Amino acid sequence: MTGMTTGESAIQFEATSPRRLLIIGGIALTVAGMIFGDFFAVFVLHQDANRISEGLIAVTDAVAAKDPVGVISNFTNIGGLLENRGTKVDAHVHVIDFGYLALLLALIQPYVAFAKRARRQLAVVFIVGATMLPVSVFLIHYVGLAHSPLTTIGWASILADLGGLLVVIACLGELAGLWRYIRGASDAIPADSSLKDRSWSCRALLIGGTLLVLAGFLQGARYAIADLSRDEANDREVLEEMLDRSAIAQELVGKDMEFAHKSVETYGTLQAEKAVKIAAHSHTIEFGLLAILLAFAQPFVFLSEKWRRRWVIIMLSGSVILPVFVLLEGQYPKWVRFIGGIADFGGLMVVVALIGMLVGVIRYSGLLETGESARA
């Protein structure tokens, strides 16, 4: 272990310490969110996009058939599909973001001027809320309004809001502790030397993480300057085309819908291109932030230096592979399955590295509990 004495670490990381709870909880939440995201991408996302395209084709057919009721009914179906996709994306994003927040809260624990018991209770409230919100959001589509006491919001939404409230309460508590620290109530807090870690793994994660954030930001800036306005104009243009071609078919005897359906296809391609650009941008930045956060968890990863380096290299490599190949999916639509497979493999690399680090953190806890001092 680097830069931290066993006595200090024992105080900050024993079995019941809030920091241990938040680091283990944070990595576990991030891993769960990423695995869920991979499953969602493979088993739901593409199938859902196909169903939405089918719904839009049905809308154009209804326009051609001069059937306004059909238009509304098909848009209602599309709304249901969008809700299904939206709640799953929300669940994925929230689990991962709460994982990051847990790691961030673990980082600031030495500056939260409350008794250990109060900090542990805050950590437990945070973890419970951070689990409850995404699980409930995931269930919104399936539970609907069943047995709900309210007419517009179902039980799943109510529980999701309750989870969010618990997270807010925990964060406000941590802020109050920080405020007490700034006001000078810091005498009970042990000095934190984990932030002084200068190991290879810590530095690699700091440099790699900041580079990833910079790369993601540059890609986002390029998208905003070069593509965003054009994509928005194309979006409207293709919808107009879809509408006009369907309206023209109203007057045709054979109701030839080929051109209108072609517009739906173009619209789908446009949406997919936009989605991959935004996904690459956000994933690069999020992996960068995760790497920086994990840099400070390295002193608690009880593995040999060789293995710590391996997990860091695997994590950073996966963090590059996933967004780069997600971006390439839009460039080479013919190879989308192959390229998408490589992107998923990148995601898997990050997950495996995170699990490896999590094992190290759990081993470190075990070491403190058994009183051993030798590194494996």
Partner 1 sequence: MSGSRKLLIICGMLLALWGMGFGLYYALFVEHQVLDKLGGSLATSFTEGAKGDLIASHGSLQTYADTQFDYVRSVDVHSHWIGFAMLLIVLGVAFDHLGFRESRRLLLAWLLVVGSVTFPLGVILQTLDRGIIPRAIAALGACLVIIALAATVLGFARTERN
The footprint of partner 1 on this chain (CB under 8 A) covers a number of residues equal to: 47
Binding map of partner 1 across residues 179-218, x = CB under 8 A, - = no contact: ----------------x--x----x--xx--xx-xx--xx
Q: Which range in 5-13, 71-79, 299-307, 349-357 contacts partner 1 by CB under 8 A?
A: 71-79
How far apart CA 327 and CA 269 sit, in angstroms, is: 14
The angle that helices 200-222 and 258-295 make with each other, rounded to 10 degrees, is 150
In angstroms, give the least distance from the CB of 105 to partner 1.
Answer: 11
Residue 71 binds to partner 1 (criterion: CB under 8 A): yes
* Residue 239 contacts partner 1 per CB under 8 A: yes
Rounded (10°) angle between helices 68-108 and 258-295: 10
Q: What is the nearest approach in angstroms of partner 1 to the Cβ of residue 34?
A: 18
| Residues 6+ positions from 47 with CB-CB distance below 8 Å | none
In whole angstroms, the minimum distance from the beta carbon of 341 to partner 1 comes to 29
Q: Would you count residue 307 as binding partner 1 (CB under 8 A)?
A: no
For CA atoms 242, 248, 250, 256, give the dihedral sign: negative
Task: Yes or no: say if 29 and 130 are a contact pair by the CB < 8 Å rule.
Answer: yes
CB closer to partner 1 out of 201 and 367: 201
Closest CA to 161 of 148, 173, 174: 148
Tell me whether residue 69 is exposed, middle or buried, using C-beta atoms within 10 angstroms of its C-beta: 0 to 12, 13 to 18, 19 or more. exposed
Q: Nearest distance from residue 106's CB to partner 1, in Å? A: 11
Query: Do 29 and 95 touch, CB atoms closer than 8 A?
Result: yes
Binding footprint of partner 1 on the chain (CB under 8 A): 59, 62-63, 65-68, 70-72, 75, 79, 100, 104, 107-108, 175, 195, 198, 203, 206-207, 210-211, 213-214, 217-218, 221, 224-225, 232, 235-236, 239-240, 243-244, 246-247, 250, 285, 289, 292-293, 295-296
